[in-house]
Amino acid sequence: MVMKVHGAVLSTAAMRVFATLYEKDLEFEFVPVDMGAGEHKQERFLALNPFGQVPAFEDGDLQLFESRAITQYIAFAYKDKGTPLLCEGKPMATVSVWMEVEAHQFDTAASKLQWELMFKSIFGMATDAAVVEENEAKLSKVLDVYEARLSQSKYMGGDCFTLADLHHLPVLTNLMGTTVKKLFDARPKVSAWAADI
Amino acid sequence: MVMKVHGAVLSTAAMRVFATLYEKDLEFEFVPVDMGAGEHKQERFLALNPFGQVPAFEDGDLQLFESRAITQYIAFAYKDKGTPLLCEGKPMATVSVWMEVEAHQFDTAASKLQWELMFKSIFGMATDAAVVEENEAKLSKVLDVYEARLSQSKYMGGDCFTLADLHHLPVLTNLMGTTVKKLFDARPKVSAWAADI
């Protein structure tokens, strides 16, 4: 039975799961959730994720939600397929540290910038300049740490490309289409890493 | 060489690591970081955690930060000591889902309430009633999902006590000393779980 991803194309969380499946060369069925029609808040979807957020994931009888839990499941369960995403032989704990950094340091600022500079214009809403300024300052500090980290190791989690890098991809790609790109461009190691991944 | 935890007693993130070490019956050295004196922003500490936040952790040559990465390292590396925290034999992926839920659903609202209702009064600052109301509403929705989850399984991650429960402990314990306790009391499964863990 083929795996199923219930998601929406604009969802960066769903994109995180698609990117993992793509790296792993795995087939899956994409089940579109019509968020405009509120399908994610209806009983059928809530049975998959009680928080009513995309993505939700099925692999046989196993049902999961929360994008970063899904990517970790895929990386471990399909270890031998496609790109290795765990840097085997190196401490997994270091990969975990930088996965947490992505979730708690990078994503908090980056997602707000993505909302202000990309999604709001898609939805015809006005950008809040103060929110942009505040979060550009936060993201700059995070990227300063990344610049130092990437001077010591090729990837966030160590010598190899792992989920600690991949988890950045969807939001990072979207920010590259906005004025926030300048924050990446100003840091040589960070911008080489962003281009690489 | 004994493990070291660099932290502060008021830090709920450091408490998360202490609770794990306690469950695992492991000896460790507590290295107090004087945050009042800004020690966490000085070079010596930044070498342990470039983001300048407690806790930081050392086990021999391995240096880690981010509390949830540290607890996972301890749970895996010291699997055979003290309380098992991983529910072996059951899918780790389900434990991961509920660890993500703690970090992204519970903690975001609960930490803001803890700040408004506990830390602000410790620091002699005024509570913002609007922030309390907004986050009580968010936390209520999360606890509704928890009530349903705990009707199906004894613990968040399945039949056994795991990190998915333990990660809640520090903030949950603090909230029990505030008016937010009513949100837990109103939900029988949640309040039994809170008392149990």
**Which pLDDT tens digit goes with each residue over B60-117?**
999 999 999 999 999 999 999 999 998 877 778 999 999 999 999 999 999 999 999 9
pTM for the model stands at 0.93
Q: Which of residues 54-73 of B touch A (CB under 8 A)?
A: 62, 64-66, 68-70, 72-73
At B88 the pLDDT is: 77
Give me the phi and psi of A6, to 5 degrees please.
-90, 115
Q: Are A164 and A155 in contact (CB under 8 A)?
A: yes
H or E element, residue A29: strand A28-32
**Distance (Å, whole) CA A106 – CA A138:** 9
| CA–CA min distance B100, chain A (Å) | 6
The pLDDT-based confidence of A90 (bands split at 50, 70, 90) is confident
A93, B62: Cβ pair inside 8 Å?
Answer: yes
Quick one: average pLDDT of B28-50? 94
At A88 the pLDDT is: 77
- Detail the DSSP E strand segments found in chain B: 3-7, 28-32, 56-59, 62-65
Question: For residue B148, which residues of chain A lie inside 8 Å, CB to CB?
Answer: 50
Question: For residue B100, which residues of chain A lie inside 8 Å, CB to CB?
Answer: 66, 68-69
Distances (CA, A) of B135 to A59, A115, B13, B181: 34, 21, 20, 13
Instruction: Tell me which residue has tokens 């006590």.
Output: B161
The pLDDT mean for chain B works out to 95
| CA–CA min distance B178, chain A (Å) | 26
Q: Could you give the residue ranges of the DSSP H alpha helices within A24-128?
A: 43-46, 67-77, 92-101, 107-114, 120-122
pLDDT digits (tens, 9 = 90+) for A181-195: 999 999 999 999 999
At A89 the pLDDT is: 72
